[in-house]
Amino acid sequence: MEVAREIAVAAAVHVRTRRPEVFGPGAPAVAVGAGDESVQTKSTPTDPVTVVDTETEELLRVLLAESRPGDPILGEEGGGATDSVDGVRWVFDPIDGTVNFLYGIPAYAISVAAQVDGVSLVGVVVDVAREQVYAAVRGHGATVTESDGSTTELVCNPVVEVSLALVATGFGYGSARRTVQGRIIGELLPLVRDIRRIGSAALDLCMVASGSVDAHFEHGLSPWDWAAGSLIAEEAGATVLVPHPNSTSSGGAVTVAVAPGIAAEFTETLRKLGALDPIPTD
């Protein structure tokens, strides 16, 4: 935990410093494909990666090597250990919420997890803009530390009716998956309090832990998206479902975190809507 927290906080400082340096002091939106070499695309034209993403992952790798030389790493930008490994595997998302980062929307995070046999034992998510550090060690609860250094134990909301649930979700980058996701949201919306789309799965999962939302579900997340946040939600009392830990694309499987008082009802609601089934990209 000490290592995970230290490198995640250092990475957050780097991201916070570099954004105005790369994109200017006014935090303007940047149009991908407009000749700006600081922004490239990945899976689709709507799936960006910035120079700061790649810089930050390299920083995480360098800092980790100083304390844990030789440990396998799986990172969003640099890839790495996708199969079972001996000992600890570290899972990094250098900026979860890159589109928000790109546009200057203050909802993006650093995610660092340590796993053994694909199970997260330590997770740290840093809300970069708000300077909050969410952390959990399996079996020891979850906390959030504010920018002033104060720390609070995290506990999910005591909601007991799905009709009163505030539900966070996210969408894939491919149009085929988005079409199915849109249908599911259209059918779910009348059954819950409301829907939120924050733009960072790691933060969504931490919001379940803190009670800022009551549930989160999303298809197609990769291990770096959920490895830290799902543990934080689970240690705050949430019922959690995650994809296979060794699949970087998850095959369109769903990730779910939901407050315990509505876990059974919400999961059954998702099942009836077909939302527990994988949504392929094609």
Residues 123 and 246 placed together within one structural domain of the fold:
no
Residues 37 and 140 occupy one common structural domain:
yes
In this predicted model, which residue has the larger pLDDT, 245 or 26? 245
* Percentage of the residues of the chain whose pLDDT score is greater than 70: 87
Q: Judge whether residue 128 has pLDDT over 90.
A: yes
Mean pLDDT across the stretch 79-107?
A: 87
Amino acid 77: pLDDT: 82
pTM equals 0.92
| Res 24: pLDDT | 76
Identify the CATH number of the domain in which residue 67 sits. Answer: 3.30.540.10
Mean local confidence (pLDDT), 25-33:
52
Q: In the numeric block, which tokens belong to residue 102? A: 């790109």
* Least confident piece of the model among 7-21, 48-62, 142-156: 48-62
Residue 40 in domain: yes
Is 247 or 99 the better-scoring residue by pLDDT? 99
Q: Which residues contact 31 (CB under 8 A, 6 or more apart)?
A: none
The sign of the torsion formed by the CA atoms of 258, 229, 207, 152 equals positive
Tens digit of each residue's pLDDT (9 = 90 or more) over 111-125 = 999 999 999 999 999
Residue 276 CB-density burial (10 A; 0-12 exposed, 13-18 middle, 19+ buried): middle
Q: Is residue 278 part of a domain?
A: no
192 and 148, same domain (yes or no)? no
Please give the residue range of the domain that contains residue 232.
162-272
Q: What is the mean pLDDT of residues 9-37?
A: 74
Domain total of the chain: 2
Task: Give the phi and the psi of residue 254 in degrees, each rounded to 5.
Answer: -100, 145
* Whether residues 94 and 189 fall in one domain: no
- Which residue would you say has higher pLDDT here, 156 or 103? 156
pLDDT(197) > 90: yes
pLDDT of residue 173: 86
Question: pLDDT at position 87, please?
Answer: 86
State the pLDDT confidence band at 280, using cuts at 50, 70 and 90: confident
Tell me: pLDDT of 248 over 60: no
Residue 281 maps to a domain = no
CATH classification of the domain holding 225: 3.40.190.80
pLDDT at 28 over 60: no
Q: What is the pLDDT of residue 74?
A: 95
Lowest mean pLDDT among 27-36, 141-150, 199-208: 27-36
Per residue in 35-65, pLDDT (tens digit) is 456 676 555 555 567 889 999 999 999 999 9
Q: What pLDDT band is residue 32 in, cutting at 50, 70 and 90?
A: very low
Burial (0-12, 13-18, 19+ Cβ within 10 Å), 179 = exposed
Kindly give the interhelix angle for 223-235 and 201-210, rounded to the nearest 10 degrees: 0
- Same domain for 178 and 131: no
Above 70 in pLDDT, residue 82?
A: no
**Within a domain: 280:** no
155-183 pLDDT, tens digit per residue, is 999 999 999 999 999 999 889 999 999 99
* HSE of 144, CA atoms in CB hemisphere, 13 A: 23
